[in-house]
Amino acid sequence: MGAAIAFWQLLHSVALNGSEKKHLRACADAIKVVVDQSDLVEAKKDRLYDKIDAFIAELDRERMPLQKFYDVVMSLAATGADAADKLEPAWKWVRLGAGLLGVRQETEQQKLPGPTKNLEGPKRQLPPPKKVNGRRRDMDDDIPFQLVGGLEPKAQAPE
């Protein structure tokens, strides 16, 4: 299970060099400026700042999880239509950051080995059911039943 988790983490994170980290920090700071200049309510601004700050904090790790970038994108997308026009300049910075991360992720994934093929064991082959007189032998016409409440069936009166 540990190997699967490690492989998943490699797929969903990227290693960044110093100049890439600097570029992404500049994009995040530019997004903060756009948010600051918008007329969003303070609670929404604070949520966006929190997501952006979490993204910036992840830049210092050896491998940056892409989820933090996705969180910023989703938070920006979740702002109401009234604020969408004010936040439009932020999408320019998001596209630049996404382009950088996308290229880095694509490059790294090309270096990864392909997924291992799980080998399946031999399939169980059961013999077909035996037939007697053209009918399956495992089917029984005698279906037992129990009368509800212990009632006996009524005998029909002779005519």
* Tokens 């994170």 belong to residue: 13
Contacts (Cβ under 8 Å, ≥6 apart) of 147: 153
Give the tens place of pLDDT for each residue, 99-152: 888 888 888 777 766 666 777 777 878 777 777 666 665 555 555 655 565 555
pLDDT in tens, 84-107: 777 888 888 888 888 888 888 888
- Strands annotated E in 10-66: 13-14, 64-65
SS3 state of residue 12: coil
pTM above 0.75, yes or no: no
Measured CA to CA, the distance from residue 99 to residue 105 in angstroms comes to 10
From the centroid of its chain, how far is CA 38? Answer: 31
52, exposed or middle or buried, with CB in 10 Å at 0-12, 13-18, 19+?
Answer: buried
Q: Are 93 and 27 in contact (CB under 8 A)?
A: yes
pLDDT 10s digits, 9-57: 667 788 888 999 999 999 999 999 999 988 888 988 899 999 999 999 9
pLDDT value of residue 26:
93
State the number of CA atoms in the 13 A half-sphere of 107 facing the CB.
Answer: 9
The pLDDT value recorded for residue 40 is 85
64: β partners: 14
pLDDT at residue 153, as a whole number: 57
Domain residues of the chain, as ranges?
15-111
